[in-house]
Amino acid sequence: MGFGPGRSQSFFLVLAAARSEKLGGRGSHVQIGYEWQMCFFVCLLISCWFLGERNNLETGRKRIPSCSSSSKAVLGEGTMTYFPEEVVEHIFSFLPAQRDRNTVSLVCKVWYEIERLSRRSVFVGNCYAVRAERVALRFPNVRALTVKGKPHFADFNLVPPDWGGYAGPWIEAAARGCVGLEELRMKRMVVSDESLELLSRSFPRFRALVLISCEGFSTDGLAAIASHCKLLSELDLQENEVEDRGPRWLSCFPDSCTSLVSLNFACIKGEVNAGLNLSYAPTLDASDLTKMISRCVKLQRLWVLDCISDKGLQVVASSCKDLQELRVFPSDFYVAGYSAVTEEGLVAISLGCPKLNSLLYFCHQMTNAALITVAKNCPNFTRFRLCILEPGKPDVMTNQPLDEGFGAIVRECKGLRRLSISGLLTDKVFMYIGKYAKQLEMLSIAFAGDSDKGMMHVMNGCKNLRKLEIRDSPFGDAALLGNVAKYETMRSLWMSSCNVTLKGCQVLASKMPMLNIEVINEWDGCNEMEENHGELPKVEKLYVYRTTAGARDDAPNFVKIL
């Protein structure tokens, strides 16, 4: 009795359901569903075994019916016709996670078809990883689409303008193939007014638009959205570069518009109880600030400027016991010396806020001792981003690199998914990261490391790494080419001002045809040659990503795709 597709189908169903129970697990809805699923699985298993036996008896030998052939015969014989498609689709509806849905799609063609036609939400982490038309064709009934464009370092002006990330092709493809679209979320993309106009006219049930760190549009585009999206309930614009052509667009919402529930185009967002964003308020008096915060005992998320000072953070630590996310931004970028927050504030927070799991902390100084203490106090970090403003600055007490401090973080925080490191760091910190940060998905490196070994530790050790972004670090071709298969498991790699040469990139391109190797040079190659006096020219900026779409056709002339 073979382990045919019938068996594998039920196996996957059980697996997927178990996973979704672990992931979902909230509310009675899933509980009921889980019990329901168990009944199906029992029936499924029995019928699998039965039909498997029957097949063997008929032919007298092991026959594994091929489910991959799309002939009608398969549909007639396969176990899944025991259940109508609607039932299978209903079972799939308990698998909201995209990863699980991708998995069930792989089992057989029937499941692929059922899954794709019932997929409601699609997330595209890199707009150049797949063609927009292909997504629209595969998922015609999608209701919520999320697309991300430029790499993260574009936030800090490291990606030249006109690099790409155009929303147009996505909106056009959706307009052609996915008219039921209700929600669109875009991050770091270039969106034109024409695209917004098309969006506003193409989807009769459209209700939610979220644009984060996008550019290329004006308030005219917003006017189109306001005018034509009759069911709009959410318009969320965060940190976009919008050309302001006046407030007229606000009056474009029709008088009869009763649907708008959430409108956010200011910097402040979130309720006071759940979250407080004071990171755009530099003139708030420090004592007023701390008085206010000391009353926010239910605060879960706090964004502030560093003028809150260590004292202020101590108040936060003693008042906000539910705090989960803290971001402390620098208020004066160019003046060193006077440090508003130090390692002491961070230690105080770690002592007082045991639920803290997400941190972004800008400061002028740090010590290993403080980081080790923080790691012990807060082992629940999932996101830990520390930015010491002076690049390469050592432990301010011992003058040592901060390897041990960050080492403690990755060792204690077993669930760490995102990490940004700074200060003086040697290859040792990368050894720790590769050894301990097994759940790490995103790593940001700047001005760190001694040699290729550093990057190699990360590439070889971090099994779940998806995004790696590096700037101004001494990693070269050996590191780039040390584990080429790894890039297929990652979304992207960014390297700027490192020691990678064009030759190294070419070798990578030849070994890995499923990657796009983008070499971004903003000035002529000949300038590079002169400066290097015959040495191999170093690549200024490198962006590597896996893709099924091949080289993109909208690249500007300063981007070379190998």
Contact footprint for other proteins (CB under 8 A): 153, 155-158, 160-161, 213, 239-241, 267, 279-283, 305, 329-331, 333-336, 362, 387, 389-391, 420, 444, 446, 471-472, 522-523
- Give whichever of 279 and 373 is closer to other proteins, judged by the CB atom: 279
Q: Are 197 and 222 in contact (CB under 8 A)?
A: no
| Shortest CB 362 distance to other proteins, Å | 6
Q: Return d(Cα 203, Cα 228) in angstroms, integer.
A: 10
- Give whichever of 96 and 160 is closer to other proteins, judged by the CB atom: 160
Q: Return d(Cα 91, Cα 32) in angstroms, integer.
A: 12
Q: Return d(Cα 485, Cα 511) in angstroms, integer.
A: 9
Packing angle between helix 368-377 and helix 343-352, nearest 10 degrees?
Answer: 10
Closest CA to 421 of 458, 459, 386: 386
Closest CA to 92 of 78, 110, 74, 65: 110
| Shortest CB 446 distance to other proteins, Å | 7
* Beta-strand pair 325-329/358-363: parallel
- Give whichever of 35 and 523 is closer to other proteins, judged by the CB atom: 523
| Shortest CB 282 distance to other proteins, Å | 5
| Shortest CB 194 distance to other proteins, Å | 24
| Shortest CB 238 distance to other proteins, Å | 9
- Give whichever of 157 and 258 is closer to other proteins, judged by the CB atom: 157
- Give whichever of 30 and 158 is closer to other proteins, judged by the CB atom: 158
- Give whichever of 353 and 446 is closer to other proteins, judged by the CB atom: 446
| Shortest CB 163 distance to other proteins, Å | 12
DSSP structure string for 538-561: BPSEEEEEE-SS-S-S---TTEEE
What DSSP state is assigned to residue 106?
T
| Shortest CB 108 distance to other proteins, Å | 46
- Give whichever of 140 and 160 is closer to other proteins, judged by the CB atom: 160
What DSSP state is assigned to residue 537?
P
Tell me how long the chain is.
562
- Give whichever of 192 and 331 is closer to other proteins, judged by the CB atom: 331
| Shortest CB 220 distance to other proteins, Å | 20
- Give whichever of 17 and 446 is closer to other proteins, judged by the CB atom: 446
Q: Return d(Cα 453, Cα 303) in angstroms, integer.
A: 36
Q: Return d(Cα 22, Cα 19) in angstroms, integer.
A: 5
Packing angle between helix 193-202 and helix 219-228, nearest 10 degrees?
Answer: 10
| Shortest CB 250 distance to other proteins, Å | 20
- Give whichever of 155 and 530 is closer to other proteins, judged by the CB atom: 155
| Shortest CB 179 distance to other proteins, Å | 33
- Give whichever of 240 and 426 is closer to other proteins, judged by the CB atom: 240
| Shortest CB 331 distance to other proteins, Å | 7
Strand partners, 470: 445, 495
| Shortest CB 395 distance to other proteins, Å | 18
Residues 6+ positions from 113 with CB-CB distance below 8 Å? none
Q: Are 183 and 168 in contact (CB under 8 A)?
A: no
Structure tokens at 115: 């899954």
Strand order in the sheet with 234-238: 121-124, 144-148, 183-187, 208-212, 234-238, 262-264
- Give whichever of 87 and 266 is closer to other proteins, judged by the CB atom: 266
Q: Are 488 and 514 in contact (CB under 8 A)?
A: yes
Report how far apart, in Å, the C-alpha atoms of 438 and of each of 410, 432, 455, 462 are: 9, 11, 15, 5
- Give whichever of 213 and 365 is closer to other proteins, judged by the CB atom: 213
Residues 6+ positions from 186 with CB-CB distance below 8 Å? 146, 147, 148, 149, 167, 170, 210, 211, 212, 214
| Shortest CB 334 distance to other proteins, Å | 4
Give the CB-side neighbour count of residue 516, counting CA atoms within 13 A: 24
| Shortest CB 283 distance to other proteins, Å | 5
Structure tokens at 484: 């080429």
Residues 6+ positions from 350 with CB-CB distance below 8 Å? 356, 373, 374, 377, 378
What DSSP state is assigned to residue 207?
-
Strand partners, 520: 541, 559
Strand partners, 360: 327, 385
Closest CA to 384 of 326, 316, 424: 326
- Give whichever of 68 and 287 is closer to other proteins, judged by the CB atom: 287
Q: Where are the alpha helices (DSSP H) in 203-262?
A: 219-228
